[in-house]
Chain A
Amino acid sequence: MAVVETKPSEEPKSNAKTTDQTNTITLRISRSNPSEGQESTFAEFQVPVQKWTTVLEAILYVKQNLDHSVAVRYSCRQASCGSCGMKINGRPALACYTKVSELNSNVITVEPMNNFPIIRDLAVDFKQLISNHKKMKPFIIREDSEVTPESKEFIQTPQDLEKFLQFSYCIKCGLCNSACPTMATDESFIGPQGLAQAYRYVADNRDKGKDERLKIVDDSHGIWRCHFAGSCSQVCPKGVDPAMAIQLLRGYMLGFRK
């Protein structure tokens, strides 16, 4: 995000008025507690917001001032930790990375992400996401380790880096998995997050674990269960393109890539 610095004297007068303006929106929060058998209902809150208020801040306002029992997971508040994924007005997004003002609506509905078990309210269970991520062996595999005193670092060219860089930006927020239509019915599917990570390491020329990983994703609920919907790439907040990673990974398996 670009920050434009202006000296106080240069600050346009008209702008100063609008940025301070406080609006009131209706925040509808999905409340549920499956372990207690409590079905989901919506609780509505009136929340004052400003131009820069994020959806997460609006939810935290509710927790601080109106109802502290709302369950929400968050940590970094800056799109880095991957904790605050949820459905915002029907679309999977990071609450800390979505401003209320960009939604162009006075009613904001927040719900837990699809395709994850709900723990309570907006907090969902990441067990399967993390376990599928781990199954992809998300680390460089090779015999010689870079920590021996004799070995130097493994130098890569900018072109080598370019092959996997965007996929290394994944913060495991799970938004892609929640947008995926296959995930909606196939609970054993690895999912776009895991498959994109498999590609991230396979495409890294320092890595020697390609065959191992290709074997893992070549499962009846693995890479072949992607049907090119592409919704994962639409919702990723970090610019990762899991749909492309899946097709590139398939390239290795169909013999188009070495």
Chain B
Amino acid sequence: MRESIIMKIHYGTALGAVALVAVHILMRMSQKFSDSLQYQNVIANYHFLPYALMLEVLLVLLSVHGFNGLRVILLELKQGSTYERMINYGSLAAMAALIAYGSRTILMAGMGVS
């Protein structure tokens, strides 16, 4: 993938995350902060489908943004074609792993498994 496309995704995911984190914070502020952390309330969030979907999107945005950011840092730290290939595929794998693990949490909580 061209670097410009990757960086457009990087900036896009950052902007998207700002918007969604704002919603996330506003949701927390709809009640007292300590209440928002009550077990029932947390579980209720996951049962509320639009909000659970938003969390899922936020998870994807931040995983992509964060691990691409890490990829950039590592590319600037050291050079070499094997190393760079490892970094590129490694960060893709890390993104996928984090998204998979986070989705599992969102799904299980949403279905009342946990």
The residues of A with any CB-CB pair to B shorter than 8 Å are: 182, 185-189, 218-222, 224-225, 253-254
Task: Give the complex CA separation of A188 and B8 in angstroms.
Answer: 22
Residues of A within 8 A of B2 (CB): 218
Query: Which secondary structure dominates where chain A touches chain B?
Result: loop
Task: Give the complex CA separation of A55 and B2 in angstroms.
Answer: 45
* A190 smallest CB distance to B (angstroms): 12
- Is there an interface contact between B4 and A187, defined as CB atoms closer than 8 Å? no
Nearest 5 Cβ contacts at the A-B interface: A186-B76, A224-B7, A218-B4, A253-B4, A188-B79
Residues of B within 8 A of A220 (CB): 3, 75, 84
- Is there an interface contact between A218 and B76, defined as CB atoms closer than 8 Å? no
Out of B4, B7, B8, B79, which one reaches A186, CB within 8 Å? B79
For chain B, the count of residues having a C-beta within 8 Å of the partner chain is 13
Residues of B within 8 A of A189 (CB): 76
B26 interfacial contact with A, CB 8 Å = no
Residues of A within 8 A of B76 (CB): 182, 185-186, 189, 225
Task: Give the complex CA separation of A112 and B77 in angstroms.
Answer: 23
Task: Give the complex CA separation of A221 and B6 in angstroms.
Answer: 13
Query: Which secondary structure dominates where chain B touches chain A?
Result: helix
Residues of B within 8 A of A253 (CB): 4
Interface readout for B66-94 with A: 1 if CB under 8 Å, 0 if not? Answer: 00000010011101000010000000000
Residues of A within 8 A of B7 (CB): 224
* 26 pairs, CB–CB < 8 Å, chain A vs chain B: A182-B76, A185-B76, A185-B77, A186-B75, A186-B77, A187-B79, A188-B79, A189-B76, A218-B3, A218-B4, A219-B3, A220-B3, A220-B75, A220-B84, A221-B75, A221-B79, A222-B3, A224-B6, A224-B7, A224-B72, A225-B72, A225-B76, A253-B4, A254-B4, A254-B8, A254-B11
* B61 smallest CB distance to A (angstroms): 19
* B27 smallest CB distance to A (angstroms): 32
Q: How many A-B residue pairs have CB under 8 A?
A: 32
User: Closest B-chain residue to A218, C-beta based?
Assistant: B4
Within 8 A of A (CB), among B1-25: 2-4, 6-8, 11
- Is there an interface contact between B3 and A224, defined as CB atoms closer than 8 Å? yes
Extra pairs beyond A225-B76, A254-B8 (20, CB < 8 Å):
A182-B76, A185-B76, A186-B76, A186-B77, A186-B79, A189-B76, A218-B2, A218-B4, A219-B3, A220-B3, A221-B75, A221-B79, A222-B3, A224-B4, A224-B6, A224-B72, A225-B72, A253-B4, A254-B4, A254-B11
Task: Give the complex CA separation of A76 and B97 in angstroms.
Answer: 59
Task: Give the complex CA separation of A218 and B2 in angstroms.
Answer: 7
* B15 smallest CB distance to A (angstroms): 12
Residues of A within 8 A of B77 (CB): 185-186
Task: Give the complex CA separation of A220 and B84 in angstroms.
Answer: 10
User: Closest A-chain residue to B71, C-beta based?
Assistant: A220
Residues of B within 8 A of A222 (CB): 3
User: Closest A-chain residue to B5, C-beta based?
Assistant: A218
User: Closest B-chain residue to A189, C-beta based?
Assistant: B76
User: Closest A-chain residue to B88, C-beta based?
Assistant: A220
* A250 smallest CB distance to B (angstroms): 9
